[in-house]
Amino acid sequence: MTAEPAPARARRTSLALLGARPVPAVFWIPALAVGVAMLLPLAYLVVRAAGGGEEAWDLVLRPRTAYVLGRTVLLAAVVSAASIALAVPLAWLTVRTDMRFRRIWAVLVALPLVVPSYVGAFLLISAFGPRGILQQALEAFLGIERLPAVIYGLPGAAFTLTLLSYPYVYLTVRGLLADLDPSLEESARSLGHGGWSVARRVTLPLLRPAIAAGAILVALYTLSDFGAVSLLRYETFTWAIYQQYQTLFDRSAAAAMSLMLVFIAVAALWGESVTRGRLRYYAGASGSARQQRVVRLGRWRWAAQAYCASVLVVALVLPMAVLAYWLARGVAAGEQIDFLWAAARNSAYSSGLAAAAAVALAVPVAIVSVRYPSLFSRVVERASHVGYALPGLVVALSLVYFASNYAPLVYQTVWLLVLAYVVLHLPAALGAARASLSRSSPRLEEAARGLGRSPFNAMMTVTVPIMRRGVLAGAALVFLISVKELPATLILGPLGFKTLATYVWSATSEAFFARAAAPALALILMSSLPMALLMMRGERARP
């Protein structure tokens, strides 16, 4: 056996196309296939937009486009900023203080993530909109027949999206906050800085990468959101593209606008990496994870409880109460719920297939990128993250164009929908798989190979069992976000293939609130299970 002089060699191989060590075919062939498949939608958009001719570009380059673009960016900025303001205190309270029921709060305040944006918007409208709960109550007592429509437009959209997406910031900040080396803050105190000064000058700057990573997820979520903005009538790029597609059937213009949306998303991602600049955050060299000090809140305890409780009430309890109200009204009115079973089965089926496929594809990509670093593996890995920047609507449109022209066999089948889910949600599965793989030593597989196992056999008997926990977490995450997904499901679902998401959508867009309640509740329950499992796992793993 040849011993490798590790560090010097590693640096060189990462620049070579195929790396120093031969990548077994069982890994690189699937990895390459995944990379190509992930780039397909993007490539097709480019081709399509390029072939659109002047007419399409004239449509895209009108002043109106700039106006919509501005509104989109404004919404993303407002939602990201509000999410940071809401989530950072929550993360700090649930990680660092002696607040009562800290661990329970930690799980509860992450749960609003399971509420789909169109459900959140529908509940807001059905409570405060025209003919909503509030108006009906006021009419009965005071005879008021119209309410000012403050919930529409920017305020309502920003409010709804913030309450559903702040958990992205909360979860990333929480992770870093728990791992922060306590001696940094102690040093600052020894050097004469009090609590607030330490928070402002040490803790917050150290949390910046996590805050930025969470905020970028919120921004991308907002950019790609379709349900809430259309229900709340705030015209953004995604909505404009959908209308273009629905009303004009002008596919080149929609493709060109989709590309612009992708550019915004990529610009946001690029901006986030640039803010880091020369700073690099190195973990404490020794890794001696000393227990962090618990901050005693004293008489602030009640304020802390009240803060967590009010966030939870507004983001989860009130919406659930409104949902329960409409459910009761629906049952009283004799709404049919027999469709529910088939819709739930369709949701579980398509999302389950997507979760399984995403995980199966993520494993070879993770192995190639972690164990065989090279230019090839980096390109494949980057390609697999395309789904981050591509809004669901864009992926769905490009797959529709592609399949209707070149792959009529899968067009109008559930497989095309599953493919869309995989393209969109592979990054989540890949992140989890990568994280669990890079924590285990490559020597383990080498030991298996030394004992006479083939690469594939070593992977199945050693690597995959090691990655199991991470892979399961990835599968749960993919399932959870696929169940909620709306635009791709609307566009790619075969005729007659109704899921919970499409039922909620068709009922709410026509203001049949009572009819939407039952599928919305089923949807929330279905995505709460994997979410609760994920959160409890995270809590246990923490010392």
Partner 1 sequence: MTAPVVELKGVAKWYDDVPVVDDVSFSLGEGEVLALLGPSGCGKTTVLRLIAGFEAPDRGAIRLRGSDVDAGSVHVPPERRRVGMLFQEYALFPHLTVEQNVGFGLDRLPPEERRLKLRRAVELVRLEGLESRYPHELSGGQQQRVALARTLAPQPVVVLLDEPFSNVDAGLRARMRSEVEAILREGRVSTVFVTHDREEAFATADRVAVMHEGRIRQIDTPQAVYHSPASLQVARICGAANFIDGVIESGWASTEVGRLQWHSPDEGIEEGSRVSIIAHPDGFRVQYSANGTATVESSEFRGDETILRILMPSGNVIRTRHASSASLAPGAPVRLTPATRTPFTAFLRES
Site residues for partner 1 per CB under 8 A = 181, 183-184, 186-194, 201-202, 205-206, 208, 278-282, 284-286, 288, 293
CB burial class (10 A; 0-12, 13-18, 19+) of residue 527?
buried
Least CB distance to partner 1 at residue 399 (A): 43
CB closer to partner 1 out of 184 and 324? 184
**CB nearer to partner 1: pick between 187 and 405:** 187
Which residue, 276 or 345, has its beta carbon nearer to partner 1? 276
Nearer to partner 1 by Cβ, of 1 and 285: the residue is 285
CB of 202 or CB of 359, closer to partner 1: 202
- For tokens 């008489």, the residue is 299
Q: How far is the CB of 198 from partner 1 (least distance, A)?
A: 8
Are 88 and 295 in contact, with CB atoms under 8 Å apart?
A: no
Please provide the distance, in angstroms rounded to a whole number, between the alpha carbons at the two ends of the chain: 40
Three-state secondary structure call for residue 97 = strand
Among residues 267 and 283, whose Cβ is nearest to partner 1?
A: 283
Nearest approach in angstroms of CB 199 to partner 1 is 13
* 312: phi then psi, degrees, rounded to nearest 5: -65, -40
The one-letter amino acid code at 142 reads: L
Looking at beta carbons only, is 2 or 286 nearer to partner 1?
A: 286
- Nearest C-alpha neighbor of 30 from the set 359, 448, 290, 261: 359
| Least Cβ distance, residue 260 to partner 1 (angstroms) | 35
Complex with partner 1: residue 190 or 336, whichever CB lies closer: 190
Question: Phi/psi at 97 (nearest 5 deg)?
Answer: -110, 175
Instruction: Between 270 and 282, name the residue whose CB sits nearer to partner 1.
Output: 282
Least distance (Å) between residue 96 CB and partner 1: 15
Dihedral sign, CA of 398, 402, 405, 408? negative
Q: How far is the CB of 195 from partner 1 (least distance, A)?
A: 8
The per-type count for the chain, helices as H runs and strands as E runs, is 27, 0
Shortest Cβ 278–partner 1 spacing (Å): 6
Least CB distance to partner 1 at residue 240 (A): 40
DSSP-assigned beta bridge partners for residue 295: 97
| C-alpha Rg value of the chain to the nearest Å | 25
Phi, psi of 32 (to 5 degrees): -65, -45
Angle at 92 between CA 86 and CA 98, to 5 degrees: 125
Distance CA 152, CA 149 (A): 6
Min separation Cβ 309 and partner 1, Å? 30
Nearby residues of 361 by Cβ (< 8 Å), 6 or more positions away: 30, 34, 422, 426, 429
Cβ closest to partner 1, residue 20 vs residue 297: 297
Distance CA 262, CA 42 (A): 9
The count of residues in the chain is: 543
Residues 6+ apart with CB under 8 A from 486: 116, 117, 118, 226, 227, 392, 501, 502, 505
Based on CB atoms, which residue is closest to partner 1, 126 or 172?
172
∠ at Cα 299 (296, 304), nearest 5°? Answer: 75
Query: Minimum distance from CB of 391 to partner 1 (Å)?
Result: 33
Burial of residue 89, with CB atoms counted within 10 A of its CB: 0-12 exposed, 13-18 middle, 19 or more buried: middle
Q: Which residues contact 334 (CB under 8 A, 6 or more apart)?
A: none
**Residue 88 or residue 491: which is nearer to partner 1 going by CB?**
88
Instruction: Tell me the closest approach of the beta carbon of residue 295 to partner 1, in angstroms.
Output: 13
- Token representation of residue 3: 């011993």
C-alpha dihedral sign at 321, 498, 493, 253: negative
Q: CB of residue 7 vs partner 1: minimum separation in angstroms?
A: 15
